[in-house]
Structure 1
């Protein structure tokens, strides 16, 4: 298992729909990555310097995030970049802990 450090530019007008899908459990039901993606996106941060969402995601795909991109991520984010292919999960989240939460930032502005 690998944890990826991900950055992506939110499609702000689409994020209320993603938030609803997370709240309804729709994303969590996607097999095999739904639970990990739900956890990652619910805890995502917002980098006000770049305007990007940032998160750490558990991933087994080659290339990284292949299934997740096609099923969910490309609908809601542009410029999806795996910054680091294999990071320590706790250290990765700690690295972005001081950034504001994604949902408070983007839903307030949507």
Structure 2
């Protein structure tokens, strides 16, 4: 499996819609990437130093996140794949001390 370490600036006014789509299962139902994207976005963190959401995304596209961007570009700006082939556990460990994105989303 390929995992990408991702950073992106949330479009604050769009986060409630993203939350609704995650909760309703709309994104999870998207084939082939919906389940992995939902898991990643549910676990996403917020970096208060940069104002970015950060997460590890399972992805097999070339270029990275090619299919996922049809969703991600609606909710995030300046999306950057920081590391294309990160170990999933190590990637999440890098950001485990940051606050969860969804805990911070209401105050953004």
TM-score range, shorter chain: over 0.9
Instruction: Output one character per residue of 1:45-103: Cα deviation in whole Å (capped at 9) or x when no partner.
Output: 00000000000000000000000002x10000000000000010011001100000001
* Cα RMSD after superposing both structures: 0.7
Structure 1, unaligned runs of 5 or more: none
Aligned pairs, number = 108
Instruction: Output one character per residue of 1:4-41: Cα deviation in whole Å (capped at 9) or x when no partner.
Output: 00000000100000000000000000000000000000
Structure 2, unaligned runs of 5 or more: none
* Cross-structure match for 1:61: 61
Deviation at 1:109, TM superposition (A): 1.8
Q: Secondary structure at the match of 2:67?
A: helix
Superposition map of 1:13-92 within 5 A: 13-70=13-70, 72-92=71-91
Q: Secondary structure at the match of 2:82?
A: strand
Q: Secondary structure at the match of 1:75?
A: helix
* Cross-structure match for 2:101: 102
Runs (4+) off by over 4 Å? none
TM-score by length of 1: 0.96
TM-score by length of 2: 0.98
